[in-house]
Every structure is written in structure tokens, then in C-alpha cells.
Structure 1
Amino acid sequence: MTSSRLLAWCLLLGSVACDPARSKSIEPPPTTEQPSHQQWRLVWQDEFEGAPGTPPSPERWNADVGGDGWGNAQYEHNTARTENASLDGEGHLVITARKERYQGNDYTSARLNTRGKFERAYGRFEARLQLPTGKGIWPAFWMLGANFAQVGWPECGEIDIMEHRGQLPAIVRGSLHGPGYSGGENVGGEHVVSGGKLYEGFHLYAVEWDPDRIRWFVDDVMFLEVTPKDLPANRRWVFDHPHFLILNIAVGGNYVGPIDGTTQFPQTMRVDYVRVYARAE
């Protein structure tokens, strides 16, 4: 990949950043239990079974490689090494951010995506995750429109299923980015998770995406719903075509700010599984 193409890839895929002070937050719906799994049929999954130290399935995942800030002033160089993304032999994928000098960056991490391997519009997209912690640590589970190379970002659309600021260990955010409501102007909302800090155990993060709405869940509790009427005036709903999945840990960046002396390394995000469902007929 040429340096110009790599930069374009970084800028396009680094768009998960947002500035909460300028983001449009939707009034959260009443928090309700949503025992809706019987409405779905499984169409794709990765349970991360395999020997310890082996890389994630190359049939399911690509590794983004580079360290130019990813459009968000991030510090890390994302690699394809097993030091940054590997199976633990106990049914988990472990993404690890490390403090180490590598290819001109002071930190390494990993960012995995399913581009060209699994892309889908509509359904339930979920991952069971144990998040990292620390000031400036930025894990995310998100989706990007598969047509981004043709139409660019944010025209392609971006769905942030979960992003988290490590300095706020009980808060997650879900959001949408599209033309006229991207970056710091995204549409979304935050949720305070009850029952302890997110780095202390696994939680289930999901969206249920239909043609006319997207709903966000943590542990099957819905905390956000966005429909076309929630967009800024005269803005288009672009969530009508396949997206691919992304899992990553960023170090620093516009959304989380810098790390400081309290941030410990390595930091890990453990992924128990990723599953995608279609609505049952």
C-alpha cells in the first residue's frame, strides 16, 4: 500500500472520534429490558476458539497496519503481530495496547476489521467484551460503510456500537456519523452502566439495526434509539447498505485526550465472541 493510500485509509477509518461537547445527544428512552434474542437467527460469528498465541482467523479478520494518527491524533502504531492481537486458548481474542517504541511510535496496538470478508446491512450486531482502563485509553466496537472507498467518509456512514474513555470506567457511548453529522457533530448518547467498572468483567454491547431505526444496548438494556427524524435538519439517513465490523484499542486521540502517568501498560480488551443475527422470518 502506498503512503498516500495508507493515509487515506487512516483518515477514513479513524473517524470514530467525537467531541461530546459538540455532539448531538438524543434524549435516552426509558431504560427497559429487551429479551429479544428469540427474534433473531445467527448468520455470522467468531467464538475465538484456538491455541493460545495464535492470530485471529484470517478468513474472518483483517489487520489495519499503520501509525499516522488514524485521523484522530492517536499515538499508537497498529500492527498485525500476535503481540497485539491473539487468542488466549480459553475462547477469547485479546487485543493488547503496549508501551514500546515501534515504527516511529511510542505505543502499539491492533485494529481488526471484516472488510471484504463479512459486510451486512440490518440485523443485531453484538460483542461480549471486557474493556481496558486508564486515562487516554480508547477501546471501540464499531462499523463502517462498505462503500467508503467509492463515496468517502462520512457519506459511507459509521455506526459506533460502543466506544469508551478509559478514564470514565462506567460510561459508554453509541453514535452515528453521516454527511452533516460526523466527527464532533455526531448523533448519539452516553450510558452509565450499573454494577461496577467495565474493566472488572464482561459486558454485552449490541445494536439492533433496522431500515428506519438503530437501537443501542448494554447487557440487553436499551439506552439509545436513533431514527431519521433525529438527524439534524435536511441531513440524509445513509444507513441503508452493508457495513463491516471493527474492533480496536486506540491510545490517545481527540475523543479521550492524552494519557498521563497514571495510565498503566499493557492494556487489554478481551473479546469473548462477536455474533451477528438477522431477524427471524
Structure 2
Amino acid sequence: MQMTNYFILYFTCMAFLTSCQVSNRLKTHPHVFIQHKGREAKKWKLIWEDHFNGTSMDTTKWSKIPAGESDWNRHMSMDTACFAMEDGKLILKGINNSDSSRDSRPFLTGGIWSKGKFAFQYGRIEIRAKLGSAQGAWPAMWMLAELDKYGKYPKNGEIDIMEHLNHDSIIYQTTHSYYTLDLGRKNNPPHSGTAKINAAAYNIYGISWYPDRIVFQLNGKDTFTYPRITELDQAQWPYDQPFFLLIDQQLGGNWVGKVDSKQLPVEMLIDWVKVYQ
């Protein structure tokens, strides 16, 4: 009888724990959190966060973004001068390069991503941060596909939670994909919106991502929605796969314009990142 009661209690506890779970983690990629089907209709639960309270970046969650050939990453650097941890904040910097003998680039920038360490499919992300402003400054918070379900960029899509240019009083919130870039269908449906901000203050930037829409948000309020429209080309919605996070202080490029070196350094302060499913 006691053994029977033990098994009943065991299976009851297991059933309860299973019901509390909100995600599946892929066996081949245990850092990927796939939201359970139907969770979008229920209350959000926190699954991952970072408050940057240590003395160094948590390398189990983040890596520094390496340099590349695109406008957004051509100045990315591993240099410690581009990063700081102070008072529970991660500081990402855009600076003038003071040593051209080691690196010929005029500017260096700091950025982090969760590629290979954390990714999720559907859910809500919030990032509390304060932006710095300068001519040529381009701080961004965005997402790219972790597993490349549809092929090379832009076929997997891109979700830009927030981009800020120069001294603007607005942010841009955007989706990019093969559908919007290569096919040029940016208005069916509209793929981008803007929202007014005080960049010098802390704001909470985020999205709520569902199987049929991405709702962009600012300080908890909805600002712009990109819907899935099944009647359109399949390339319109590549957002049915896990994405990882990028947060970076970019400098220069065709969109933001030339950098005024006299206005540097510029800094983006990240207070915390939270992800829910």
C-alpha cells in the first residue's frame, strides 16, 4: 500500500512539473528553448535573464561579437576598452581607435550576442537600457536565426527590436527578410514602425513574438505589429524558428551616416535582459 502511494505521489509530482514547463529544449541544441504549442494564450513565465551584476560578462550567456564586412559589424572589436561592467550595468562603447599600429580601423565598437548559448522560438523579450547619442552612433538590439532553417541571409529573417540613429528622438522597429529585401514587398504588410523616445533616459525595449505575429513594444506598450499572412509568399514569415539575441553599439554606415569623431566615445548602458515564454 505504501509503495502504491509512493508511485501515485511520484507521478502526480511529475505531471505537475510537466504542466509548469513552458518550453522544450532541443536534444541536439540544449540552449534552444522552443515554446510549447498553445503557450501564447497563457501567462508569460520567465525562462532566461541577465542583470549584469557581476564584475565581468557572463560567458555562459554571451560572447563578444567579432568584426565583419557589413556596415553594422565592420568596427566590432574584442578590445576591453569597448566594454565595461559598472553598478550592475553592462556598458557597450563606440570609441576612437587610439592605437592604429594594432588595428587600422578608425573606430572600435562593442557588442554581444547569445549565438550558440541561448536562443528561443516565440515568447517575450524585454531589455532595459539607456542609449547614448552622437553623430554616426547606431545602437541596436536585434535577433537572427540560430539554426538557419531556410538558408543564407536574408532567407531566415531578422527582427530589429530597436535601432537608434545619431541624436534622433525616435527608434526604428523592423523586420527584414527575403520577402521584404529581395522581393521588395515592404508594405504588404508594412514591415517597420517608429516610436518616440527620450534616448537619454532608461527605456524598456521589447517584442512579444507569437506564431502569427510579432508585436513590438516600448516601455510595455505596443507600438507596431508585423502579422503573418498565410495567403502571401511563404518567405513573408520565416519567423517560425529559434532566434538568438544581439545587442551592439554600432558606428557609421550608409544608413546612419558618417561618424563625428569629436562626439566619441558614445555608450549604451544595459541594465537587464529578460526572456519569457
Q: Same fold (TM over 0.5)?
A: yes
For residues 203 and 219 of structure 1, the distance between their equivalents in structure 2, rounded to whole angstroms, comes to 6
Structure 2 unaligned blocks of 5 or more: 1-41
Equivalents in 2 of 1:97, 1:230: separation in Å? 41
Map of 1:166-177 to 2, 5 A cutoff?
166-168=166-168, 170-177=169-176
Structure 2 residue 48 is the aligned partner of structure 1 residue 47: no
- Residue 72 (structure 1) shift: 2.2
Aligned-partner Cα distance in 2 for 1:260–1:231 = 46
User: Quick one: distance in 2 between partners of 1:117 and 1:171?
Assistant: 31
CA distance in 1, matches of 2:193, 2:260: 26
After superposition, the Cα gap between the structure-2 partners of 1:136 and 1:232, relative to the gap in structure 1 and judged at 3 Å, is: farther
Residue pair 2:134, 2:264 contacting (<8 A) in 1 also: no
Whole-angstrom CA distance in 1 between matches of 2:125 and 2:205: 8
TM-fit CA distance, 1:85: 1.7
- CA distance, structure 1, for counterparts of residue 235 and residue 246 of structure 2: 25
- Could you tell me which residue of structure 1 aligns to residue 276 of structure 2? 277
Which structure is larger by alpha-carbon Rg, 1 or 2? 2
Contact 1:146 1:156 in 2 (8 A): no
Q: Is the 8 A contact 2:72 2:250 kept in 1?
A: no
* 1:201-216 map, 5 Å: 201-216=201-216
User: Pick from 72, 77, 80: which aligns with 2:78?
Assistant: 80
What amino acid is aligned across from residue 96 of structure 2 in structure 1?
A: K
CA distance in 2, matches of 1:142, 1:73: 12
Q: Once the two structures are superposed, what CA deviation does each residue of 1:87-110 show, in whole Å capped at 9, x if it has no partner?
A: 11x111000111114522001111
CA 1:184–1:172 in 2, change beyond 3 Å: closer, same or farther?
A: farther
CA change 1:180–1:222 in 2 (3 A) is same
Following superposition, the deviation at residue 177 of structure 1 comes to: 1.1
What is the CA distance between 1:258 and its match in structure 2?
Answer: 1.1
CA deviations over 1:1-33 (Å, ceiling 9, x no partner): xxxxxxxxxxxxxxxxxxxxxxxxxxxxxxxxx
Counterpart in the other structure of 1:61:
62
Cα displacement (A) at 1:236: 2.8
Cα displacement (A) at 1:180? 2.3
Q: Which secondary structure does the structure 1 equivalent of 2:141 belong to? A: strand
Structure 2: distance between partners of 1:175 and 1:204: 16
Q: Distance in 2 between matches of 1:136 and 1:184?
A: 29
Q: 1:125 to 1:257 in 2, by over 3 A?
A: same
Residues 1:139 and 2:143 are matched in the alignment: no
Q: Aligned AA for 2:89? A: H
Q: CA RMSD in A?
A: 2.4
> Tell me, what secondary structure is at the counterpart of 1:83?
helix
Report sequence identity in percent: 27
Match of 1:103 in 2: 103
Which of the numbers 79, 87, 91 marks the counterpart of 2:88?
Answer: 91
Alignment of 1:1-281 (within 5 A): 39-51=43-55, 54=56, 56-66=57-67, 68=68, 70-72=69-71, 76=75, 78-88=76-86, 90-100=87-97, 101=100, 103-148=103-148, 151-168=151-168, 170-182=169-181, 187-193=191-197, 197-198=198-199, 200-229=200-229, 235-260=235-260, 264-278=263-277
Q: Where in structure 1 are there 5+ consecutive unaligned residues?
A: 1-37
Give the residue type in structure 2 aligned to 1:93: L
TM-score, reference length from structure 1: 0.75
Give the partner amino acid of 1:274.
V
Number of aligned residues? 228
